[in-house]
A and B are shown apart, each in its own frame.
Chain A
């Protein structure tokens, strides 16, 4: 028996060695479709936006080259820095609310019990709704006279929920979380299911309780997923403006006018495409910088596996 197995092993190894030289890297040609796609739909527009940020353009006539005029206006524009601040507040608020909820929900729904499967299916429903539908529904729900605040006066005071900066920001965080927690839970659910059961069995033998197992096994094992999910939240937070447009329209005043919304308003309401492109370039810089920083801090770029030593 023993000799037979080892003989087979040797044979297998030999087969592998023979196969190795034929396994070469695929030709560079295979990268062309992806590369062309990336060039046409990502790089070219970015270059275009950078160029437009140096022009004055109303969208009807040809763009006029104005050098750095938009950028010097950008730096002196107090409104832009306020927008940047609000964008940051929303970003941090969204991550602080969404990350813990989606980790807990995701890990919980990773269990194979039938009730969890049924409830998870219900939890994931918001994923099926478009942002527009979500925003319209929530605007009705938050109506001060005919919505929830009118019925729960004790909780909402004079129910002017969208009419104050604090209220509007809280509403935006709640609605965004409601919409995107299911997506992030789904990420965590998949990751939690991939954690090898042997780890939990070993912990159980060592006498670790459910909480300790969660803290010392589940959370470390979810590290890479946390990076992915946070990156999604950061990039999404820096580019998403639809919910702001439909729920608060940047108001009250300009209190929730986040950068992407300012960009939209500058471009499509006041038709100042040049200045809007400057804001867009700034956003591009911010998003790229944020995701690079996230990779560096988390060590995600090293691509170390959480399964080392198993």
Chain B
């Protein structure tokens, strides 16, 4: 009776447990790469208003017998973390939504992505494909509309004040005074730490207007010393002037982006304007449909006097992309990519207020829910000499994350323009 578990039995139990764990681990690693041309593919996508269009496309595709695509909708905040973790593991998705640029280069270097067929390019506008290429190889094709950043404004607030939207920087600073006097926040900006990308948009536009797109192109290409360019310091000083003059109100540091935050401020007339990507329209449609339809105006970012940049330049997300990993069965993936420029998919996007960058999109814009809005964006993008991708996307998260923190400190007054320049310059050793 003594020692119910003898030492030998204990060893056997330990061995059995170990064997079990090894087996489980082995199960986990299978499925890392696909062998048969058709099969099941996980498609990870970001939660947004176009998910229903993607769902329809997936359902239609699944009935064609080329394999099965499963759509996983992932909420905005955790998407990039989850993707990165997934890409390093056996649970790698076969297809995934992304922002192109820097977000893909790590995956390409690690050999996780499939180079796509050149023939796909003919279905899309060339300018929209640039961020989908890494080292000249096509690894992502557009899956959503173009998302330029521009100024949205509340028409009623402007009519009541008897003013016009800004065309120049001095217009803009005058409007700050007008709206402040009326107790309206001139610009809604989301300054809480999760939303500092809304502050980044101001920096991107100001740098582009002051120095032109070449400055950031050089930085993106790896010349980090370009942050010392006087235009960056000037940008930071302009931001500080705006903050100090009350252009963003006093409590923007606690404001969140979107419904319940900046979007609500705009549609309730508590703020006059907001600098935001074109997706603001869809957010407003969800929260205040009447406002989206008739109460919201939009205008390009104003010119800045004495700046070298072309006032027609645009920043934002040229578009979002879909990429294929080595985990996807090749035929299923390549067949599914075809849906991204199919008439029904493009029409679905147009119905949601998107401006797709496919060659067949132009004719459909007339049938958009708000043709004027669709054409405004289309014209903005097609006439822009340069379309700079959002910096955090272009640089990738490793550099983009600390950059956003520094921008936040500048807006909060936690660092001076000079400190901002030196802190950002020091981000990359």
Contact = CB atoms under 8 A, between A and B. Distances in A.
Contact of B87 (A28, A40, A60): A60
B254 A59 contact: no
A24 B415 CA distance: 69
B361 to A, nearest CB: 34
Interface residues of A, number: 43
B2 A32 contact: no
Interface in B384-405: 397-398, 401-402, 405
B265 interface: yes
Contact of B194 (A28, A146, A249): A249
B193 A271 contact: no
A29 B6 contact: yes
A204 interface: no
B88 interface: yes
B193 A143 contact: no
A109 interface: no
A78 B192 CA distance: 23
Interface in B63-115: 80-81, 84-85, 87-88, 106-107, 109-110, 112
Nearest to A142: B254
Nearest to A59: B88
Contact of B3 (A27, A140, A270): A27
A272 B196 CA distance: 22
A103 interface: no
Interface string A25-39: 011111010001000
A36 B17 contact: yes
- Of B14, B252, B408, most buried by chain A (CB within 10 Å of CB) is B408
B193 A269 contact: no
A201 interface: no
Interface stretch (A64-72, A91-99, A159-167): A159-167
A268 interface: yes
A161 B14 CA distance: 55
B10 interface: yes
A142 B256 CA distance: 11
B225 interface: no
A254 B405 contact: yes
B250 interface: yes
Contact of B85 (A24, A58, A249, A268): A268
Contacts of A24: 2
A251 interface: yes
B251 A144 contact: yes
B255 interface: yes
Q: Is the interface of B mostly helix, strand, loop or mixed?
A: helix
Contacts of B10: 28-29, 32
A139 B415 CA distance: 25
A61 B110 contact: yes
A106 interface: no
A288 interface: no
Contacts of A58: 106
A58 B397 CA distance: 12
A212 to B, nearest CB: 46
B21 interface: yes
Interface string B241-258: 000000000111111100
A265 interface: yes
Contacts of B9: 29
Contact of A270 (B252, B260, B397): B397
A144 B408 contact: no
Given A60-B88, A144-B254, A271 B397 contact: yes
Nearest to A162: B254
B252 A30 contact: no
Given A36-B14, A163-B251, A251 B4 contact: no
B401 A29 contact: no
A281 to B, nearest CB: 21
Contact of A145 (B81, B270, B412): B270
A131 B6 CA distance: 46
B409 interface: yes
Contacts of B62: none
A236 interface: no
A53 interface: no
A252 interface: yes
B78 to A, nearest CB: 9
B5 A28 contact: yes
A248 interface: yes
B264 A146 contact: yes
Given A40-B21, A60-B106, A251 B192 contact: yes
A60 B192 contact: no
Contacts of A265: 401
A287 B110 CA distance: 36
A289 interface: no
Contact of B5 (A30, A162, A254, A255): A30
B256 A29 contact: no
Given A29-B4, A249-B194, A252-B414, A158 B408 contact: no
B33 to A, nearest CB: 15
B401 A269 contact: yes
Given A29-B10, A251-B193, A253-B409, A60 B110 contact: yes
Nearest to A140: B260
Give the 6 A-B residue pairs with the shortest CB-CB distance, closest first. A29-B5, A163-B253, A251-B193, A249-B193, A60-B110, A160-B251
11 contacts: A27-B4, A28-B3, A60-B107, A142-B254, A160-B250, A160-B251, A160-B252, A161-B254, A163-B191, A252-B412, A270-B402
Interface of B: 2-7, 9-10, 13-14, 17, 21, 80-81, 84-85, 87-88, 106-107, 109-110, 112, 191-194, 196, 250-256, 260-261, 264-265, 270, 397-398, 401-402, 405, 408-409, 412, 414-415
Given A29-B13, A251-B194, 10 more contacts: A28-B7, A29-B7, A40-B21, A160-B250, A160-B254, A249-B192, A250-B193, A250-B405, A269-B80, A270-B397
